[in-house]
Structure 1
Amino acid sequence: MSGFDGLENQINGPDLAADLPQDPRDPRSSSPITLKFVDVCYQVKLHGDSSKIKKFLGLEHKPSDETRTTERTILSGVTGMVSPGEFMAVLGPSGSGKSTLLNAVAGRLRGPGLTGKILANDAKPTKQTLKRTGFVAQDDLLYPHLTVRETLVFVALLRLPRSLTRDDKIRATESVILELGLEKCENTVVGNAFIRGISGGERKRVSIAHELLINPSLLVLDEPTSGLDATAALRLVQTLAGMAHGKGKTVVTSIHQPSSRVFQMFDTVLLLSEGKCLYFGKGSDAMAYFDSVGFSPAFPMNPADFLLDLANGVCQIDGGTEREKPNVKQTLAVAYDTLLAPNVRTYMDATPSPRENVRFVKTQKNVRGIISGFATWFNQLCILLRRLIKERRHESFDALRVFQVVAASLLAGLMWWHSDYREVHDRLGLLFFISIFWGVLPSFNAVFTFPQERAIFTRERASGMYTLSSYFMAHVIGSLSMELVLPAAFLTLTYWMVGLRPGLVPFLLTLSVLLLYVLASQGLGLALGAAIMDAKKASTIVTVTMLAFVLTGGFYVNKVPSGMVWMKYVSTTFYCYRLMIAIQYGNGEEILGMYGCELKGTQGAARTDGCQFMEEEVVGDIGLWTSVTVLFFMFVGYRMLAYLALRRIKL
């Protein structure tokens, strides 16, 4: 048997178009997709410098050991197809190219290294086709503090078209929850490694629900059963098979080691080994095909296990003993090219287009509006802002963070309890402590924002859920509403405990300066995090940067060396400290008078070294409005840099 005989009968099944769809998400209201991939190859360039490595290790190297660029072949001429109503599984050992192939057919892999043809309904995939393609990555990228229902409602509000009302989108969410059996955990937080939430199988179903909400015609899943036990994997595969057979979707999934019960549900199987195709055909014909080319198990076993053994170059000889047999993979690759490949191409050429598969084609009003069109920019902003607040409120007002701020506030209040106005040095130490604390804390917390969200952000942007500007603006507004509460509480508690300049106006001015400073420091963290996109490296850089800002802030060193004086004028701490001094002591005339000094330029002023030091410390050489303007431009400029850094991220 060729292993491909009878595959054409797969598309013949029960008529699913008996009734007109009532749910706008009903798969019969969207056009079906027949996926074909012909001679797909993918190569990546590997850069190596063997001479430098050997020199570093102290080993001799030949003159020929120079920097070389080599190419590694990930996929080599893979061909196949899957039609509406079919469930195709891509099998193969780790490193065989399964994930690369799925990324390619889902439109997530581009570049000069990808060659061959990937066709949707015998044409190159368009943007509209990609919008009808759902892709479920191997890793479950979900917000941990949101419940299952909240997660899916936000996805529905962002991804479903404007032609549907909010109630329609919520009903679509409820329909998907019931379809995937998530009703028992819909009000449970998703969780992660540190937060207890739903189970692994439920997390995978939520990831699939993400894509089902858009009613995809083509659903591509990368290792959906990874990390699941046999029973959970079986239930998940049963759900996927039901989507293909009962709802006419085109379903493609990679799977590492399926059980025999799971294997029986696959309509079509594609076996890969080192990027080459060893088998493509009906799953039920696989064992007969390999027997026909001289490979059969010594005893009854799971067909999937047998296929994976062959893909690894292992076969059973000498009474069933597993041994490496030379050229197993090469023999199977040659057999495929000789026996199966011609039949695959013949079958693909003869397969009718979806327009001829009338059982899946139904005229539905506003189909185009359902498939295309997303929420407006302002709606995206409002939805993303609500989601951000729901997710980040747990982090922003975490018990440990609140304790940290309250403890620092009480400690400062007790250390400087009702300090004397004339104790200038102590007061300046307090003001500088406030500047240090609210410069380091916001910048260090903000630096993790974009690196932690990069994976989710990249996936959602690739799916077209929202624009970059709406996502970024939601973060800017969200920081204004959440990140300013704790500094305001800190200052309110500390200000009156230490007895700073009395009166509502000085307090409000000090609070305004502090909040502007917090926003500027936070912007620095956002910019560094977005530019580096590595949480560990970014946190190190922001720590060094804030250390430089603190040293040049004006308290520790007044006469900064000429070669480093520029650091003082880019320091957020410097401007905040100067403004706080100005609010407490005005132009410095009164406090200088306590030391028998007068302002510079006053006739007959005493110009001792002590007077010069106090003038530099209290008055400074930067105007007040200049300091405010610089902090404001830092607040805006750092965020602009962060936005530009996010734009360069490849989806």
Structure 2
Amino acid sequence: MEDIEAQSSPPKSVFKKVDRTIILKFQEVVYTIDTKKQGWLKKNSKNSPLQKQILKGVTGMVLPGELLAMLGPSGSGKTTLLTALGGRLGGKLGGTITYNNKPFSSTMKRNTGFVTQDDVLYPHLTVTETLVFTALLRLPNSFTNQQKITHAEDVIDQLGLTRCKTSIIGGPTLRGISGGERKRVSIGQEMLINPSLLFLDEPTSGLDSTTAQRIVSTLWELARGGRTIVLTIHQPSSRLFYMFHKVLLLSEGNSLFFGKGSEVMSYFESIGFSPCVAMNPSDFLLDLANGISSDDSNQEDQTTIKQKLALAYKSNLADNIKETLEFEGPMNDELDLKKCDTWSTTWLQQFTVLLRRDLKERRHESFDFLKIAQVVITAFLCGLLWWQSDTAHIQDQSGLLFFYTGFWGFFPLFQAIFTFPQEREMLAKERSSGMYRLSSYFVSRTTGDLPMELVLPTLFCIITYWMAGLKPNLASFLHALVALLLSVLVSQGLGLALGALVMDLKKATILGSVLMLTFTLAGGYYVQHVPVFISWIKYISISLYTYKLLIGSQYEQDQTYQCGNQTCLVADFPAIKSIGLDGQVKSFVALAIMLVFYRAVAYVALMRIGAPKKVN
């Protein structure tokens, strides 16, 4: 075993030591969830429990410089325990978790890194951009911007990412860096703050054995710098297994073993469980956690074996764990004495960095050729269909103006619906680490979309307005343009609100279609005589107020047009009379209120998004 350890040990650490160390203790940790009710076709049995216990009194301790690996089959509670230790698990959590004998605090959160199982990264940013933006947001203002950038570059070198630092991250449909490099980038994001305590959920998942070896070697190096590291891992190779200082084996929320990895085989042999042939220790442990014994003479069922192992652990190792937990060791109370601000950077700094990051990540979407071509082609088609129409063709002109409301109601709505559901995981990850305020994210995210959201309708209006021969003066054109842009912003706000509330693209799209169709039907063009019991819809219709403003930009109360052999008032034309030419200010105010209201709804809906609570 010593030979294996020697071969597995990485070279001398290049990572600097932490300024403060943390002793992590967890005693009798219990976590309970409420079971979901069955559907209307399946009723809950009277005897079925309404609660399920995920963790059942798990105890252990990790010292600075140690690497603890939590093993167990799927559903054993590994991720739940890791999330609880990282201070990210709410709900019915019992037991005691302390950090240098003190509870989790905002100061501790600032010194804790958490790497999720899935690498939540922006696919179109390069490795350098990803780490630099993270450094600018997470490192305090005691660093200058240049020092933050230099620190990010140092982490790139230390993690062996120099070769791919100018490559984009990539994604499922976009070629980028490899899986191992992505994992190292995720680790690098947490290493920027030089954490004293580091949690990793399945850092080797989906990686080949060689890449997994490099990742764990990196973690081994980090532990040598005085860090306390806890990770979950499903089925490590024997080389990886012997690099772990401590091992915690879980089965259905119960502890089957906690202690040094080098002692695990002798422990199970002492209670009558040993492999018949030489095998990977982790394979043997997973078999036991699943209730599978390699002893042919043991004919007990899986449940009995798991219960026997859990009871043996509680009786044989209770005294050892008690002695372990009584260990105090040298502690640095600087974590508690040194108060830190709630946020590492100011609101303006966060807004600026987030806006720059967003513009870089979404530049491929903002200047999407198909999106621009769709708008330009539609604009020229409208210009040709309504070519130089005049007030003699008032039906055609009013039809064009209502088409404005329909096209620029749906187009920004569906663009905006995708905004927050696509970024839910990223927002949850970064908010849980205290990277920035929700308000700075929300304002920067919505501001980043404004250029193309306003440029495209402006281009559309310029093309169609003059080709269609609408009222040829600058004031009328600006009136129509402002009405159209205000409508676009309101529709965008509705899309943001729906996306944030529902967080499901299919459902949000269907709901958005129904709402916008309802607003369009109540917009006063298709139906002039709406029954009283349903006429209230027009008061919340974006289309109605936009159409009213557009009509007001072209016609006046006393204006006439040629209708057959006589002259008629524009105000008496059916498509205009039903909504009227007055009330321009009221329509503008109504849209302005909707503009603020929908964005406020979206913001409040996002407030509920925090760290994802996953039970595994």
TM-score normalised by length of structure 2: 0.92
Unaligned 5+ residue runs, structure 2? Answer: 1-10, 612-616
Question: Distance between the aligned counterparts of 1:210 and 1:290, measured in 2?
Answer: 39
2:477 corresponding residue in structure 1: 507
Question: Distance between the aligned counterparts of 2:363 and 2:504, measured in 1?
Answer: 23
Q: 1:285 aligns with which of 249, 255, 263?
A: 263
The worse-fitting range, judged by mean Cα deviation, of 472-481 and 79-88 is 472-481
- What secondary structure, in the 3-state scheme, does the structure 2 residue paired with 1:449 have? coil
User: How much does 1:34 deviate?
Assistant: 0.7
Q: 1:466 aligns with which of 430, 436, 441?
A: 436
1:218 corresponding residue in structure 2: 197
- What secondary structure, in the 3-state scheme, does the structure 1 residue paired with 2:560 have? helix
AA matched with 2:41: I
AA matched with 1:597: C
1:562 corresponding residue in structure 2: 532
2:577 is equivalent to residue 616 of structure 1: yes
User: How much does 1:640 deviate?
Assistant: 1.4
AA matched with 1:296: S
Question: Distance between the aligned counterparts of 1:345 and 1:411, measured in 2?
Answer: 79
User: How much does 1:498 deviate?
Assistant: 2.1
Question: Distance between the aligned counterparts of 1:198 and 1:282, measured in 2?
Answer: 36
Question: Distance between the aligned counterparts of 1:296 and 1:185, measured in 2?
Answer: 45
1:337 corresponding residue in structure 2: 314
Contact 2:392 2:563 in 1 (8 A): no
Question: Distance between the aligned counterparts of 1:182 and 1:599, measured in 2?
Answer: 70
2:37 is equivalent to residue 48 of structure 1: yes
Q: How does 1:596-611 map to 2 (within 5 A)?
A: 596-598=567-569, 611=572
Question: Distance between the aligned counterparts of 1:460 and 1:332, measured in 2?
Answer: 39
2:83 corresponding residue in structure 1: 103
User: How much does 1:108 deviate?
Assistant: 0.3
User: How much does 1:347 deviate?
Assistant: 1.7
Question: Distance between the aligned counterparts of 1:184 and 1:100, measured in 2?
Answer: 36
Contact 1:588 1:615 in 2 (8 A): no
User: How much does 1:68 deviate?
Assistant: 6.6
- What secondary structure, in the 3-state scheme, does the structure 1 residue paired with 2:36 have? strand
- What secondary structure, in the 3-state scheme, does the structure 2 residue paired with 1:317 have? coil
Q: How does 1:125-204 map to 2 (within 5 A)?
A: 125-204=104-183
AA matched with 1:484: L
- What secondary structure, in the 3-state scheme, does the structure 1 residue paired with 2:494 have? helix
2:281 is equivalent to residue 303 of structure 1: yes
1:606 corresponding residue in structure 2: none
User: How much does 1:140 deviate?
Assistant: 1.3
Contact 1:243 1:249 in 2 (8 A): yes
Q: What are the Cα deviations for residues 199-221 of structure 1, in whole angstroms up to 9, with x where unaligned?
A: 21111111111111111100000
Q: 1:273 aligns with which of 251, 255, 259?
A: 251
1:551 corresponding residue in structure 2: 521
Question: Distance between the aligned counterparts of 1:463 and 1:386, measured in 2?
Answer: 20
Question: Distance between the aligned counterparts of 2:380 and 2:573, measured in 1?
Answer: 34
2:3 corresponding residue in structure 1: none
Contact 2:427 2:610 in 1 (8 A): no
Contact 1:95 1:274 in 2 (8 A): yes
User: How much does 1:65 deviate?
Assistant: 4.6
Change (3 A) 1:564 1:117: same
AA matched with 1:48: K
Question: Distance between the aligned counterparts of 2:133 and 2:561, measured in 1?
Answer: 57
Q: 2:22 aligns with which of 23, 30, 33?
A: 33
User: How much does 1:580 deviate?
Assistant: 1.3
User: How much does 1:346 deviate?
Assistant: 0.8
Question: Distance between the aligned counterparts of 1:102 and 1:295, measured in 2?
Answer: 28
Contact 1:42 1:75 in 2 (8 A): yes
Change (3 A) 1:503 1:326: closer
Q: How does 1:436-515 map to 2 (within 5 A)?
A: 436-515=406-485
2:614 corresponding residue in structure 1: none
The worse-fitting range, judged by mean Cα deviation, of 65-74 and 402-411 is 65-74
1:352 corresponding residue in structure 2: 329
2:6 corresponding residue in structure 1: none
Change (3 A) 1:68 1:439: farther
AA matched with 1:85: G
Change (3 A) 1:650 1:318: closer
Question: Distance between the aligned counterparts of 1:443 and 1:503, measured in 2?
Answer: 30
Q: What are the Cα deviations for residues 385-435 of structure 1, in whole angstroms up to 9, with x where unaligned?
A: 111222222222222212221221122122222234421111111111121
2:235 is equivalent to residue 257 of structure 1: yes
AA matched with 2:156: I
Q: How does 1:54-93 map to 2 (within 5 A)?
A: 54=42, 65=45, 70-93=50-73
Unaligned 5+ residue runs, structure 1? Answer: 1-13, 17-22, 56-63, 356-360, 601-610
The worse-fitting range, judged by mean Cα deviation, of 270-279 and 510-519 is 510-519
Contact 2:420 2:499 in 1 (8 A): yes
Question: Distance between the aligned counterparts of 1:488 and 1:513, measured in 2?
Answer: 11
Contact 1:33 1:84 in 2 (8 A): yes
Change (3 A) 1:592 1:120: farther
Contact 2:29 2:55 in 1 (8 A): yes
Contact 1:47 1:68 in 2 (8 A): no
